[in-house]
Amino acid sequence: MLLQLKNVFKWVNTGGQRIFLLKDINLEVEEGEFISVMGPSGSGKSTLLNVIGMLDTFDEGEYHFLDESVHTLKEKYRSNLYKEYIGFVFQSYHLLDDLTVAENLEMPLLYKKVKGSERKALVADILDRFNIVGKKDLFPSQLSGGQQQLVGVARALIASPKLILADEPTGNLNSQQSEEIMELFKKLNKEDGVTIIQVTHSEKNAAYGSRVINLLDGRKV
């Protein structure tokens, strides 16, 4: 088993009232799954994804990732854990405008303290794999949205994570670009065995996955 959430609650207190963002979430994810999280706006999809990605904390419950109990870890170890095993893909790509494509790809490796020569090799590898060698010295603003998201996925993959978390990865793309990205996810899942959890609004995209989780008001339905 890759990860397990047990009775996870997350809430905020507003004006004396407790508003639940996540309510009693139980979830088990096996390696090699491709899960789609669906639900209306404000149902807690992104929050759930952030909790799984350890970017956000929760107030109650347990979270086990591989053999670690995430809820007991200090922030520093948590960040070590997620930079080792998890890659993120965002709706608005979140590439750094000041860095070239190659440099954006290199950044996760820097924070993992990978050696210079090895970094070069890994970057060259992934550029090759995604067919964007020709774009390596361009800045994100010089690319189309689909190409940017391609770089975003490549960046998420470069450190060979076990899990990819994608928050509406195709939200800003047109249908053709969306299809390409979803095909890419499918291929990664099938051929490389990468576990993928994606948040999506689109039934069509959800169909690429092996399992769908529906959320409503912070609760699994």
Partner 1 sequence: MFKNYLKIAWRNLVKDKMNTSLNVIGLSVAFAVAILLGMAALFQLSFDGFHENGASIYKIVKTQQTPRGPEAGTVQPAPLAPSLEAEVPGVKRITRFLQDGALAIQGDKEIDMDIIWVDEDFFSMFSFPIIKGDGNTPLAQLSSVVLTKKAANNLFGSTDVVGKTFHLLVKGKEVPFTVSAIADDMVAETNLDFQIAGRFESHADYLDNKEQWDSQYHDVYVELEKGVSSNSFESGSRGFVDLHFKDAIEMLKRDGASADENGRYVNLELVPLADVHFTSLKNGYVSVSRSLPYLILGVAFLILFIACVNYINMSIAKSAKRLKEIGMRKTLGAQKKQLFFQFWTESLFIFLISMGIGVILSFVFVNDFKTIFNTQVSVDMLLRPSFLVGLLAMVMLITVFVGGYPAILMSRLGTIQSLKGKLQSTGNNKVRDVLMVFQFGIAIALITGTLVLWGQIDYMRNKDLGYDKEQVVSFPLNGKRNSNDVIELLREELKGNPDIVSISGADINLGLGRDGSRSSSKIGFEYKGRSVTTNFLVVDHEFVQTLGIEMVLGRNFKNASDSLGVVINEAMARELGEEDPLSAQLEISNGVHIPVLGVVKDYNFKDLDRAIEPITFYMSKEWGLSYAFAKVAPHNMASSYEALENTWKKIEPNAAFLGSFLDENVDRTFNREKTTAKMVASGSVLSIILSCMGLFAMSLLIVSQRTKEIGIRKVVGASVASITYILTKDFLKLVLLAFLIASPVAWWIMGEWLQNYAYRIELSIWFFVAAGAIAVLIALLTIGTRTIRAARVNPVKSLRTE
Contact set with partner 1 (CB under 8 A): 50, 53, 55-56, 76, 79-80, 82-83, 88, 90, 94-96, 98-99, 103, 107-108, 110-113, 155
Q: Which is nearer to partner 1, 88 or 208 (CB)?
A: 88
Distance CA 60, CA 43 (A): 18
Q: Which is nearer to partner 1, 107 or 184 (CB)?
A: 107
Q: How far is the CB of 141 from partner 1 (least distance, A)?
A: 12
Q: How far is the CB of 83 from partner 1 (least distance, A)?
A: 3
Q: How far is the CB of 111 from partner 1 (least distance, A)?
A: 4
Q: Which is nearer to partner 1, 55 or 184 (CB)?
A: 55
Q: Which is nearer to partner 1, 12 or 212 (CB)?
A: 12
Q: How far is the CB of 41 from partner 1 (least distance, A)?
A: 15
Distance CA 83, CA 107 (A): 11
**How crowded is residue 111: how many other Cβ atoms within 10 Å of its Cβ?**
11
Q: How far is the CB of 13 from partner 1 (least distance, A)?
A: 16
Which among 172, 136, 166, 144 is positioned nearest to 37, based on CA atoms?
A: 166
Tell me the two tokens of residue 31. Answer: 């390696």
Q: Which is nearer to partner 1, 59 or 203 (CB)?
A: 59
Distance CA 2, CA 9 (A): 20
